């Protein structure tokens, strides 16, 4: 029940295309869903986050879609650029907790 399942494991997208990463969770008590971006040799950095009372959140080219009834959420990267090539982790947590439950990660490569 503590798991967050993430797919795909790796993704190759042409420059200018849309990158889509999907995640699913079981525990309905989770109330905060962040996405992290990690470049090689760096620590993860918070990219965008959503709470379950909202179905979509957009920040620039990055959009989270959230389906509470299906217990699924996804990250869409519009107009993908080579600089977006990184590993992306979805995550889930409780507002009262310190621990973040990470998905397994998606290695995204954007072809020029």
Partner 1 sequence: DTEVTQTPKHLVMGMTNKKSLKCEQHMGHRAMYWYKQKAKKPPELMFVYSYEKLSINESVPSRFSPECPNSSLLNLHLHALQPEDSALYLCASSQGPNSYNEQFFGPGTRLTVL
Residues that bind partner 1 (CB under 8 A): 32, 41-46, 89, 93-100, 102-105, 107
In the complex with partner 1, the residue whose CB is nearer, 36 or 63, is: 36
Would you put residue 47 in left (φ > 0), alpha (ψ -120 to 50) or beta?
alpha
Shortest Å, Cβ 51 to partner 1: 9
At closest approach, how far in Å is the CB of 107 from partner 1? Answer: 8
CB-based contacts of 98, cutoff 8 Å, min separation 6: none
* Whole-number Å distance between alpha carbons of 90 and 73: 9
Q: State in angstroms the smallest separation of the CB of 87 from partner 1.
A: 8
**Rounded distance, CA 64 to CA 52, Å?**
11
């Amino acid at each position: 029940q503590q798991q967050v399942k993430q797919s795909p494991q790796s993704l190759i997208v042409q420059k200018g295309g849309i990158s889509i990463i999907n995640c699913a969770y079981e525990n309905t008590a989770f109330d905060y869903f962040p996405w992290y971006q990690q470049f090689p040799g760096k620590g993860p950095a918070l990219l965008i986050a959503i709470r379950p009372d909202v179905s979509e959140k957009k920040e620039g080219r990055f959009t989270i879609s959230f389906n509470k009834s299906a217990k699924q959420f996804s990250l869409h990267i519009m107009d993908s650029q080579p600089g977006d090539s990184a590993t992306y982790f979805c995550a889930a947590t409780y507002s009262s907790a310190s621990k973040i439950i990470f998905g397994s990660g998606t290695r995204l490569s954007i072809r020029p």
